[in-house]
Amino acid sequence: MTSDVMVPSRVGRQCPRRASMDRFGRRRTDALSLENSRRNVCCAAGRGAWLGARQEEVLVKTATHKQWLVVTAIVIGAFGPVFSLGTTPSTASLARLTLDLLDWPIDGATTFAHRDTRFLTALTGGFLFGWGVMVWCLRAWVFDRAPDAVRRAVLVGLCGWFVLDSAGSMAAGVASNVVFNAIVLATAAGPLWIAASDAADRGTRAA
């Protein structure tokens, strides 16, 4: 704090001169600086806590995605052996029941008597089992390096299957399979719909 005071000059005139800051002014300035420093420290600590909580939330959601990929792999791959059993008449009971269920209502009209049907179910079983194994391997070998890329790749694959399979079912006159496809898609995708960072942001805003 400074003030202008009039002091006599050698020629008899008065001229302004800067008076030095008094002790009270210096103490006041020091108090304001200390208060500002405290506020800066508090802001930095608050931001650090927020970033720490958000990072922890992202890690939790990422771990949830990795765990759910086990469910995804099993849901997809489990249909492989089921349909592969339909390749021979002696083991086709489970495959026939599954196909009859998808073509609701269950009426026992579905058969695997034709050779082409058994061949097609062999191809279907192999593709589904291989797809499930691939998801499992992505989880085990790739997910830790690129979690969000794996999540998006699996999710896009599921959506592609749902669209084409459902469209084919509608064209074949088996509209009931679209409902079952939606259930399988919802189960296999689970929390994969939401990225870990988006989920963390929602959780932070809710808190």
DSSP string, 123-160: HHHHHHHHHHHHHHHHHHHTTTT-HHHHHHHHHHHHHH
Q: What is the pLDDT of residue 204?
A: 44
Write down the pLDDT at residue 173.
92
User: What is the per-residue pLDDT across 43-80, written as a single tens digit (0 to 9) for each?
Assistant: 655 555 545 666 777 888 999 999 999 999 999 999 99
Position 82 in a domain: yes
Band of pLDDT at residue 7, cut at 50, 70 and 90: very low
- The answer to whether residue 20 scores a pLDDT higher than 50 is no
Residue 111 has pLDDT above 90, yes or no: no
- Average pLDDT of span 113-134: 92
Domain extent, residue 187, equals 62-206
Domain assignment present for residue 35? The answer is: no
Query: Could you read off the pLDDT of 162-175 as tens digits, one per residue?
Result: 999 999 999 999 99
Is 33 part of a structural domain of the chain? no
DSSP 67-119: HHHHHHHHHHHHHHHHHHGGGSGGG-HHHHHHHHHHTSSP-S-----SHHHHH
What is the pTM for the complete model shown? Answer: 0.69
Instruction: Report pLDDT for 105.
Output: 83
Establish if 37 belongs to a structural domain.
no
Q: Quick check: 40 pLDDT over 80?
A: no
Residue 110 pLDDT > 60: yes
N-terminal to C-terminal alpha carbon distance within the chain: 45
Q: Is residue 163 part of a domain?
A: yes
Question: Of 27 and 143, which is predicted with more confidence?
Answer: 143
Asked, for residue 90, whether it belongs to a domain, the answer is: yes
pLDDT band at 31 (very low <50, low <70, confident <90, very high): low
User: In this structure, is residue 2 part of a structural domain?
Assistant: no
Identify whether 171 is part of a domain. yes
Domain count for the chain, please give it. Answer: 1
Per mean pLDDT, which range of 123-132, 159-168, 197-206 is the poorest?
197-206
CA dist 112 and 121 (Å) reads 9
